[in-house]
Amino acid sequence: MNPTQLESDLITFKNQYEKISNLKLPFEYLRNSDVYVFKNENEIIGGFVLGKRTPLRTVNVFVSEDNQTSLKHLFDKDQYCEVCCFWILHKYRKSPYLAAKFWLMMANEVRKQEKELVIYGTNTKGLAKLYNYPIKSILFHKDKINSKNTYVFVAHRKNFFIGTLKIVMSKLLRKNRSKELLINNNLKKRLVYELMQY
């Protein structure tokens, strides 16, 4: 799978993502990142972005300004590949096969990256519970922005594909996921220590 080079794809991606998420997506961010699209014939039905530069969109969108300042020493590192703006048109989410295929295609692209850590976030509790399901997916930071809870996760790239596979299996098997979204302070401390070594 290769990132799209078409300006028309970027425009469609931006419009669809903003409509689904209610979050603004700067066009410059798309131009400076790798944008992947899923197509059904010629229609874009989903996609995701891999960002590799700071400042990280995940941090800008899901971490409050006060906390961005206090966490700057961790989030301005050049060790992150960020996965963001992952979306699938609603009518295609109902197909377990297609949804699983899209999740695993995304994870496979992340697996090919060089950065050691993957960062991703959300402001919806349902997605946060999905992201929190794999043991190796670390809920690193919780925040509140415009009265909405936000969640930022970090995982080691080498564990990301298996973690995504576990998410896909949990969806297919309709497994219950924990209602609690708690930060595991031991895992977080270990990760912070690791980041400080870079």
CATH of the domain at 51: 3.40.630.30
Q: Using the structure block, give the residue that is written with the tokens 């895992």.
A: 187
Given pLDDT bands bounded at 50, 70 and 90, which one contains residue 141?
very high
In this predicted structure, what is the pLDDT of residue 188?
76
177 has pLDDT over 70: no
93 has pLDDT over 80: yes
In this predicted structure, what is the pLDDT of residue 178?
67
175 has pLDDT over 80: no
77 has pLDDT over 80: no
Is 2 inside any structural domain? Answer: no
In this predicted structure, what is the pLDDT of residue 85?
96
- Average pLDDT in the 8-31 region? 95
Is 140 inside any structural domain? Answer: yes
Is 107 inside any structural domain? Answer: yes
Given pLDDT bands bounded at 50, 70 and 90, which one contains residue 78?
confident
Question: Above pLDDT 90, what percent of the chain?
Answer: 67
Per the structure, the count of domains in the chain is 1
In this predicted structure, what is the pLDDT of residue 198?
63
- Where helices occur in 112-184 by DSSP H, the ranges are 125-131, 157-172
Q: Range of 20's domain?
A: 7-196
Beta-strand pair 148-156/138-145? antiparallel
Q: Structure tokens of 69?
A: 């300042």
Is 1 inside any structural domain? Answer: no
